[in-house]
Structure 1
């Protein structure tokens, strides 16, 4: 028997979570200075952003100087792990945080680069609607579209 073949139905995770609007999944991405995706990770819809961030931040590209994220990634654990690697953290504090931590607003404006990644990915119907139930097929579609949009089209 092959090791990569599941022995029972549903042995591999689909990374699809049930939300109030139906089935959903969350794509996390890291981009370079020009706004091109470098790393991508998929989690189920109702999974916390910290689980997606842990996977991506554990394997940051060499020479990373700053990490810019939205409020969903605001946690002491993420901030401490990046500070230990001497990386500048620019994440605005959550609304319910008791001690509001400072962040560089001018640096945070560069976050539109990563928002542009998701906006351009949603132009591709297969990725935007997630027809694929298998996580491997869906991630392959994401890699193909990002490769075409950001690397081949230039």
Structure 2
């Protein structure tokens, strides 16, 4: 999921449970602008960092432990990464989202769109 500075959902992608987080991150950033992209260690990859640099944005992503050359990040800006967690918390207020009642992906996706619209209207 991609969220704005205020923790409101902008874009999301439903992926299989076994898929890595970084696999769809580049698609979520397509056509977006911003000063910085905040993400956790799971998104530490050279391809994604290049994509963020092409957007003229700063990648505020801590390096994974197994990276040979660590890349520093701004810890002050990184503290605001909790906005995406708050976004998921707001979505989990909807029981249908939190428990994934919908078995079909298209139904679940439709409900996520509805819940995101309700969050934006608050």
TM-score (norm. length: structure 2): 0.92
SS at match of 1:38: strand
Q: Is the 8 A contact 1:42 1:52 kept in 2?
A: no
Q: Which has the higher strand share?
A: 1
Deviation at 1:84, TM superposition (A): 2.2
Listed as ranges, the gaps of 5+ residues in structure 2 are: none
Q: Which structure is richer in relative contact order (CA contacts within 8 A, separation 6 or more)?
A: 2
1:98 maps onto 2:35 in alignment: no
2:43 equivalent to 1:73: yes
Structure number with larger C-alpha Rg:
1
Tell whether the 8 Å contact from 2:39 to 2:81 is kept in structure 1 after alignment: yes
Let me know the Cα RMSD of the aligned residues. 1.3
Give the corresponding residue for 2:82.
Answer: 112
Moved over 2 A (4+): none
Whichever structure has more helix as a proportion of its residues is 2
Match of 2:9 in 1: 37
Number of residues paired by the alignment? 122
1:126 paired to 2:96: yes
